[in-house]
């Protein structure tokens, strides 16, 4: 704590990302994709005209927004891009949720949401998950300044079908509903088609997980023109160029390789279900997952014990010591070989 920090900064509780270890570990803790990005990405980087780097990039990222628009069947004016979806979320919180009425969010969801609330001094109210660890959409009710949740949710893995999001939107029409679809490509159902009829719906997405580009930092939002314009107002008051020239070229190449994308997502989902079967055989309870991770606990072992035992055996998973989640492990889906190592290690411990 420094006296040189402004009072608001002293009061912050920053988000703590999953560890990026230096030693070689089987790394199943941050939901990265185990497969490399499209080969088209390497080609783009080889072909880059470095002379162009003396120029600023296009502040409106038009080419990238056109590609994302085509990918999602919307107009380019309905797309916003940023330096990772974390940044897009931060812009959205500032653009739509800084108001006197409380923001509603699930008690268990992406732990960055309360961090943004603190940063922007946004009042919020949490809604408990139901007894199956699913978001109780019907409980998002009453006077509110907006709603935010991940769908599929993290770290629980459950996703609501589009029809249920539509039902929520039929009730909530005068505040922004933000659906974070970081994991939707692993078996979820996207709410993007609802954007056409719901000017208060904002859907965010990322190239970090299903496109294997966490290191690139590219996220986006899709919504009505008025919501996108709101995001642009914040962006243009903060940083005119959040997406650099290289990120833009790489992202376009990755988005255009739909075959590679589909193959990798399918492989991750197949490995996930195989891993589920192995975990169940070992006596684990495994929540249903439409994501690239499994959320699981064992009736006889504390989460902390399992986490530490795996770490000793060179396997890193995520453990949350809060909100009644402390017996669970969140295990990212790696390659088949990595998951075999995980199961072998668990067999030795149980
Ligand atoms: C990983 C993740 C993000 C962040 O994605 P980036 O684009 O890498 O910033 C956002 N929301 C959820 C729920 C995530 O799991």
Query: What percent of the chain is helix, strand and coil (3-state, nearest 5)?
Result: 40, 15, 45
pLDDT digits (tens, 9 = 90+) for 112-125: 999 999 999 999 99
Choosing among 2.60.40.10, 3.30.2350.10, 3.90.1150.10, 3.40.250.10, the CATH entry for 7-36+259-349 is: 3.90.1150.10
pLDDT digits (tens, 9 = 90+) for 134-179: 999 999 998 999 999 999 999 999 999 999 999 999 999 999 999 9
Listed by start position, the domains of the chain span 7-36+259-349, 39-257
pLDDT of residue 338: 98
**Nearest C-alpha to atom 12 of ligand 1 is from which residue?**
182
Contact 219, 84 (CB under 8 A): yes
pLDDT digits (tens, 9 = 90+) for 48-96: 999 999 999 999 999 999 999 999 999 999 999 999 999 999 999 999 9
328 secondary structure, DSSP code: E
Which atom of ligand 1 is closest in space to residue 85's alpha carbon?
Answer: 7
Contact 34, 335 (CB under 8 A): yes
Ligand 1 center from residue 209 Cα (angstroms) = 8
pLDDT of residue 23: 80
pLDDT of 22 higher than 80:
no
From residue 165, give the alpha-carbon distance in Å to each of 141, 175, 344: 14, 14, 40
Pairing of strands 315-316, 124-127: unpaired
Q: Which of 88, 154, 333 to mutate to test the pocket of ligand 1 (most atoms within 8 A of CB)?
A: 154
pLDDT digits (tens, 9 = 90+) for 31-52: 999 999 999 999 999 999 999 9
pLDDT of residue 202: 98
Ligand 1 center from residue 348 Cα (angstroms) = 33
Ligand 1 center from residue 206 Cα (angstroms) = 7
Ligand 1 center from residue 86 Cα (angstroms) = 6
Q: Which of 209, 216, 218, 291 to mutate to test the pocket of ligand 1 (most atoms within 8 A of CB)?
A: 209
Q: Which residue, 94, 79, 86, is CA-closest to 192?
A: 79
CATH code for the structural domain at 39-257 = 3.40.640.10
pLDDT of residue 78: 98
Q: Which residue, 150, 152, 146, is CA-closest to 227?
A: 146
pLDDT digits (tens, 9 = 90+) for 262-315: 999 999 999 999 999 999 999 999 999 999 999 999 999 999 999 999 999 999
318 secondary structure, DSSP code: B
Averaged over 199-222, what is the pLDDT? 98
Contact 283, 266 (CB under 8 A): no
pLDDT digits (tens, 9 = 90+) for 224-262: 999 999 999 999 999 999 999 999 999 999 999 999 999
Q: Which of 85, 114, 254 to mutate to test the pocket of ligand 1 (most atoms within 8 A of CB)?
A: 85
Q: Which residues line ligand 1 (CB under 6 A)?
A: 84-86, 110, 150, 154, 180, 182, 206, 208, 214, 219
Q: Which band of pLDDT confidence, cut at 50, 70 and 90, is reported for residue 27?
A: very high
**Nearest C-alpha to atom 1 of ligand 1 is from which residue?**
182
Averaged over 13-20, what is the pLDDT? 85
Contact 235, 224 (CB under 8 A): no
pLDDT of 20 higher than 90:
no
pLDDT of residue 1: 87
Helices 245-256 and 62-72, axial angle in degrees (round to 10):
20
pLDDT of residue 17: 84
| Dist CA 180 CA 301 (whole Å) | 32
96 secondary structure, DSSP code: I
Ligand 1 center from residue 16 Cα (angstroms) = 13
Q: Which residue, 117, 111, 114, is CA-closest to 155?
A: 111
Contact 317, 28 (CB under 8 A): yes
Ligand 1 center from residue 182 Cα (angstroms) = 6
254 secondary structure, DSSP code: H
The chain-wide mean pLDDT, for the chain, equals 96
Q: Considering the entire predicted model, what is its pTM?
A: 0.97
pLDDT of residue 73: 98
Ligand 1 center from residue 42 Cα (angstroms) = 23
């Amino acid at each position: 704590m420094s006296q040189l920090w402004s009072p608001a900064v002293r009061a912050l509780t920053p988000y703590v990302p999953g560890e990026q270890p230096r030693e070689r570990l089987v790394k199943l803790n941050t939901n990265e994709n185990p497969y490399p990005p499209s080969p088209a990405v390497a080609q783009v980087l080889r072909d880059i005209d470095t002379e162009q780097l003396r120029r600023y990039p296009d502040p409106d990222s038009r080419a990238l927004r056109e590609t994302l628009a085509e990918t999602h069947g919307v107009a380019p004016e309905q797309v916003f891009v940023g330096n990772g979806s974390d940044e897009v979320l931060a812009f959205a919180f500032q653009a739509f949720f800084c108001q006197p009425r409380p923001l509603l969010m699930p008690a268990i969801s992406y732990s960055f949401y309360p961090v943004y609330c603190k940063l922007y001094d946004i009042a919020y109210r949490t809604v408990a998950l139901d007894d199956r660890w699913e978001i109780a959409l019907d409980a998002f009710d009453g006077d509110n300044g907006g709603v935010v949740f991940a769908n599929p949710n993290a770290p629980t893995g459950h996703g609501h079908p589009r029809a249920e999001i539509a039902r929520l939107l039929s009730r909530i029409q005068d505040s922004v509903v933000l659906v974070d679809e970081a994991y939707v490509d692993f078996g979820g159902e996207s709410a993007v088609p609802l954007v056409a009829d719901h000017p208060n719906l904002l859907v965010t997405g990322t190239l970090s997980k299903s496109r294997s580009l966490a290191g690139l930092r590219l996220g986006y939002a899709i919504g009505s023109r008025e919501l996108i314009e709101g995001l642009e107002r914040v962006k243009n008051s903060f940083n005119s160029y959040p997406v650099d020239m290289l990120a833009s070229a790489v992202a376009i190449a990755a988005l255009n390789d739909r075959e590679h994308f589909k193959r990798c997502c399918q492989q991750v989902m197949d490995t996930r279900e195989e891993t589920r079967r192995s975990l169940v055989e070992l006596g684990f309870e495994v929540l249903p997952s439409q994501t690239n991770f499994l959320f699981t606990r064992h009736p006889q072992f504390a989460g902390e014990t399992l986490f530490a035992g795996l770490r000793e055996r060179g396997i890193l998973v995520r453990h949350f010591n809060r909100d009644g989640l402390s017996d669970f492990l969140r295990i990212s889906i790696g390659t088949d070989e990595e998951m075999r190592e995980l199961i072998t290690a668990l067999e030795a411990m149980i």
